[in-house]
Structure 1
Amino acid sequence: MKRIVFVLFFIFILVGCTQQEIKEGQVYVMKDNNHPEEQLGDMVNIEGRIPFQKYVNESLIDQYDSGRILLTISPNGKEIYFMERVETDNLLQVIKGETREEVIIVKEDINSKEQQVIVENIPFISKIVWNSEGSMVAFGGGGRLTIYDVKNNSVVVEEKLAQDKITNFFWSPTDENKLYSEQLDLANASIYYLDSQKKVEAYETREETYYKGKLDSNYYYGTKWDLANDDTKTVILDKQGKIIKILTSGRFRDAYQKSLVVVGERGFGLYYMPDINASDRIITLTKEYIYDVKFIDDGKIAYTTKAEDIETNLFYLHIVSNTGSELKKLKVHGGSIAVLPDGKSGFISGPKWQRVDFVENKFVEDLDFIEEEEIGELQQIYTTIRGAMTTFYNLELKGEGSRINLQKYFKNTSLPEQWAYFDMEKILQERDAKSQISDFVMEIHLKSYDIGTNNASVTIGVNTRNPYGRGVVMDYAMELIKYQGNWYVTGFSTFPYSPEREEVEEILQEVVEKIQMGKLFSGELANKAITIGQIQFWLSGMAHLAPNVESANSVKVFLQVEGEDIYKLVLEKINHNSWKPIKLTQENLSSL
């Protein structure tokens, strides 16, 4: 009869003259040598690993405040690594989505307390993985990967890594210089060979399965792209790359003993498998977009999603029990989670880092939200832009409309004529909801702004993603006004104060006169009273609103006929200063 002995290695860090090698807490299955080892099958006789470091000296944690976060302890127990926030005004201003922040990573000798900055000006770190020999450590967060060579005291392949937006990564179990990466649209992306400073693209390698996580000392998790079904499978691998067991569809994210979590296509949906030996039992935790997910103390799960309030840029931190039930839901400022090495607490990214006690499932301090005694005009404009663009994209991508939100964020104005509310009403009336997607996630960042007394011109960049494709990346030029203390969007791509707008107005006067005289469009509006309404600039090739007036090659003009009917007049740019009328219709007023 097979004899199984469970040996639990707990790790202790001693701060002092004596150093002790640091290893993760693991549960190993030991077998008698008298019996040949069986091949792994549906029942994987493995207890897995506890991915946390335990330490006796709690001052190692307590000395770090909300501006200094302990990231990892070196496997030899001699150094610690932490990150500190860098205050800068050079960051891209985020209106909606993951905030941008810069940090430095500092290495500190535990005995001498000597410190060294190993890398600067990188995003908030949310994942750290050491290679098999403990000679290199990879830090990741905000789509940026940094690899530090401990032996040579240097950051490696920095330029190549800075070019790629890496969302996940893991080391080869057999090659200390080989690292597998993942990108947003590629579950299996580039492979980096650090000794030769070489990057191999996914299409250049024959490796169909990438290592993504550790199950125990002999077995690993990986992702395999199922080309026939266009699906990504999470699997169990051995060190030689042999697939031992196919677990489930989805991308691997984290593991604790025999449990794991995977995310769905392009990050939408989070699925929890409590036991790899019962892979048919999967708990759906959410269908929403997942910004980050981690196992924490006692096999619980922490993950972040977007908060429902469309006017704020806040997130939810969900803490889930090891049975899959939600224990706590906290509103936080950021979407990234930095779990401290012992798994008992961590920090959330954002304008103010928030420390969370994962044992008690609460904030360590009552610093939940940033107090703003006086909200400036720009912040008020941000609030309107968040609400307006969420309303706009709910219409564009989901076919969902809210007249309450249209009235709350959009308004028609005169002098000059700008009809943002009318535009949104027409989108609501003309969109076909049957072909729309079910969900999306949106980021908005500021590109430029000019604020007057009661008006503002703002250019923003919008990036959307959905479960089925890459989504949309577009820039928008918006005009806003302040009315009775509130800001409203009054025009998209109207550029009311530009010389180009004045030129088009002069041309329109001539065009309208010809229409009234019956010389254009078969005399359809001959002898009719016509008033020129909103003038809007477009890119005809993309059928998209022009982000700047210089790039526009089409103009859409609303004409009010006999004081009631609205027509759409389209002009096309045929040379530098010439516009040709090409369309007059009452149909599809929301499009070009």
Structure 2
Amino acid sequence: MKRIAFFLFFIFILVGCTQQEIKESQVYVVQDDNYTEEQLSDILNVEGRIPFQEYVNQSFLEIQDLGLVLLTISPNGKEIYLMERIETDNLPQVIMGETGEQVRIIREDRITKEQEIIVENIPFVSKVLWNTEESKVAFNGGGRLTIYDVDNRRTIMEEQLTRDTITSFFWSPIDENKLYSEEADLANGSIYYLASQKKVEAYETREETYYKGKLDSNYYYGTKWDLVSGDIKTVILDKQGKTIKVLTTGRFRDAYQKSLVAVGERGFGLYYIRDINNAEKVITLTKEYIYDVKFIADGKVAYTTMAEGVEDNLFYLHIISNDGSELKKVKVHGGSIAVLPDGNSGYISGSEWQKVDFIQNKLEQDSLVENEEDEEAGELQAIYTTIRGAMTTLYDFELMGEQNWSQIKKHFKNTHLSQQWAYFDVEKIFQERVNRSSKGGYAMKIDLKTYDINATGDGASVTIGIKAKNPYGRDVIMDYALELIKSEDKWYVAGFSTFPYSTERQEIEDILQEMVTKIQMGQLFSGELEDSEIVIGQIQFWLNGIPHLAPSVETANAVKVFLQVKHQGKEEIYKLVLEKINQRDWKPVKLTKEGLSTL
């Protein structure tokens, strides 16, 4: 019955779509997923595969001494592919999250030692896979995929792939020119057909199940996307795309013999199945956001999470035994892992690459080395620490409902020299806004966009970009303009979008003086504050309509002003809202003592 229904649906699709272009190699699979336990036991009675290349060659050790990382050896043994760091000052500064360093990939002939750069200025590479015919090899890391045609010695679809953000991929087991991709928020992403250099979007294909990994020569792992419910499940497939067994929810990440690891949808949570024949025995390794996870020597698992604390931008490297117990947890500079072909060692990305011995479960250098830095760099790092603490405090509330009052005092301060009230702002956010408490954490990246430390060294203007996500689909992408002050040798966030040194701020001050006079005379807002004592407090620039704090003063089309009002013997804070009606004119639209945290 199930097959008949699917077939009728298939006919309906064909009739209804006769005017649409037929996509290359598009496959419509009629699946029969019903297997008896005995059949499953027979089908999955396999040893699986060890995804490592054995090699004994002293020259590989010499390569590492030269600062080159061995990514892969060609299956025929004639070539090796190396990763080399590119030192550059052009990269954006990262306050929190992966640093995103740039590398080049070098192909070397093992006989002639001839070298060729096949691609450069790409992110740290953490995944390498060859296609079925061993004619092409793909490199992935930092959202960038590079595909190299070994026979013709050229990259493929480079212009297209530069524009795409691909977080994982796998080759088709039956088509050497077909590649399945994954995106951060789309487990089954685009499909790339290399022969014709075509890209097919997920919604353009009827393939609900994408290949993601290899069990053995006959069976593969995949992620099955239920188009109705949106659920993602890791499954075992045969070469024809038939689902043999559903293993677990979440996205497949790696496999070793009969073991596998999968992450939860959106990357939160890591789940380990030691034996696919006992898939119901799932070990939850963590509920945190996973930056990278790999099988390593002896079937152990290595994965990375963000380290707690705001003093430094660091990660944890976790090494897990094949029974699911933690063997090692150590702070490292980055979140990506490049495992060498033999699985015995690897490198961690970051401001400094750190080599890991996966046999001894230790870093080559087990402590983080502090580099000497000049005075300005030292001040900038202190500012970074304050920003990490301040924005973590804010987003702990915004995304998890946590009100940490001690952290407000630690990272925010009001200053009346230029009337900036960041402490007051966050305090009111905690008091007034709906508590959005949710289970699970969130992952956040903070990029530095601009900064300027004043001549006296006790103030700074900083623009940052925030990208935050949680397990439930509530992503935040925002820019913030911050003013910081240094008090008693410590930095604090003093203002959000106040722009105290801008000409626009001065213009608003002049306009406000006139408006306040009219308010006191009873000529505005029905005389509500007639004859009151009014002092102008913080002036803050907003984007009306979103609404959100303006990331730059030029883009602002609304202003929120705090007024310190003494009225009928009481001292209260009011907010006055102005809206921009043309290039230079502002109109007062709201005066209230309610909802001080919003526009």
Alignment of 1:152-551 (within 5 A): 152-366=152-366, 368-372=368-372, 376-434=378-436, 436=438, 438-452=440-454, 453=456, 454-469=458-473, 471-551=475-555
Under a length normalisation based on structure 2, what TM-score does the superposition of the two structures give? Answer: 0.90
> What one-letter code is carried by the residue in structure 2 that aligns with 1:483?
S
- Is the 1:395–1:431 Cα contact (8 Å) retained in structure 2? no
- Is the 1:61–1:70 Cα contact (8 Å) retained in structure 2? no
SS in 2 for 1:50: coil
Gaps of at least 5 residues in structure 1 are 1-37
Give how far 1:59 is off: 3.8
Equivalent-residue separation in structure 2 for 1:366 and 1:40 (angstroms) = 45
> What one-letter code is carried by the residue in structure 2 that aligns with 1:262?
A
Equivalent-residue separation in structure 1 for 2:501 and 2:235 (angstroms) = 59
- Is the 1:41–1:245 Cα contact (8 Å) retained in structure 2? no
Equivalent-residue separation in structure 2 for 1:233 and 1:520 (angstroms) = 61
The question of 1:47 aligning with 2:25 is answered: no
Aligned to 1:582: 589
SS in 2 for 1:162: helix
Give how far 1:586 is off: 1.3
Q: Give the number of the structure whose residues are more often helix, by fraction.
A: 2
Worse-superposed segment, 389-398 or 73-82: 389-398
- Paired residues, what number? 555
Equivalent-residue separation in structure 2 for 1:253 and 1:81 (angstroms) = 23
- Is the 2:287–2:440 Cα contact (8 Å) retained in structure 1? no
Distance 1:486 1:584, change over 3 A: same
Equivalent-residue separation in structure 1 for 2:461 and 2:94 (angstroms) = 17
Equivalent-residue separation in structure 2 for 1:109 and 1:372 (angstroms) = 39
Residue of structure 2 aligned with 1:552, choices 553, 556, 564: 556
Equivalent-residue separation in structure 2 for 1:457 and 1:169 (angstroms) = 41
SS in 2 for 1:405: helix
The question of 1:145 aligning with 2:145 is answered: yes
Equivalent-residue separation in structure 2 for 1:363 and 1:317 (angstroms) = 10
- Is the 1:354–1:368 Cα contact (8 Å) retained in structure 2? no
- Is the 1:337–1:346 Cα contact (8 Å) retained in structure 2? yes
Equivalent-residue separation in structure 2 for 1:498 and 1:436 (angstroms) = 39
Give how far 1:67 is off: 2.6
Distance 1:215 1:378, change over 3 A: same
Aligned to 2:565: 561
- Is the 2:41–2:277 Cα contact (8 Å) retained in structure 1? no
> What one-letter code is carried by the residue in structure 2 that aligns with 1:460?
I
SS in 1 for 2:271: strand
Give how far 1:368 is off: 3.0
> What one-letter code is carried by the residue in structure 2 that aligns with 1:392?
L
Alignment of 1:5-20 (within 5 A): none
- Is the 2:288–2:440 Cα contact (8 Å) retained in structure 1? no
Equivalent-residue separation in structure 2 for 1:515 and 1:366 (angstroms) = 65
Equivalent-residue separation in structure 2 for 1:487 and 1:559 (angstroms) = 26
Over the aligned positions, Cα root-mean-square deviation in angstroms equals 1.5
CA offsets 1:493-545 (integer angstroms, 9 cap, x no match):
00111111111111111111111112222222111111110000001111100
> What one-letter code is carried by the residue in structure 1 that aligns with 2:291?
Y
Give how far 1:481 is off: 1.1
Give how far 1:181 is off: 0.2
> What one-letter code is carried by the residue in structure 2 that aligns with 1:490?
A
Give how far 1:297 is off: 0.5
Aligned to 1:124: 124
SS in 2 for 1:376: helix
Gaps of at least 5 residues in structure 2 are 1-37
> What one-letter code is carried by the residue in structure 1 that aligns with 2:405?
R
- Is the 1:41–1:244 Cα contact (8 Å) retained in structure 2? no
CA offsets 1:77-109 (integer angstroms, 9 cap, x no match):
111111000001111111111112111101111
CA offsets 1:449-475 (integer angstroms, 9 cap, x no match):
111121111111111111111501111
SS in 2 for 1:387: helix
- Is the 1:396–1:431 Cα contact (8 Å) retained in structure 2? no
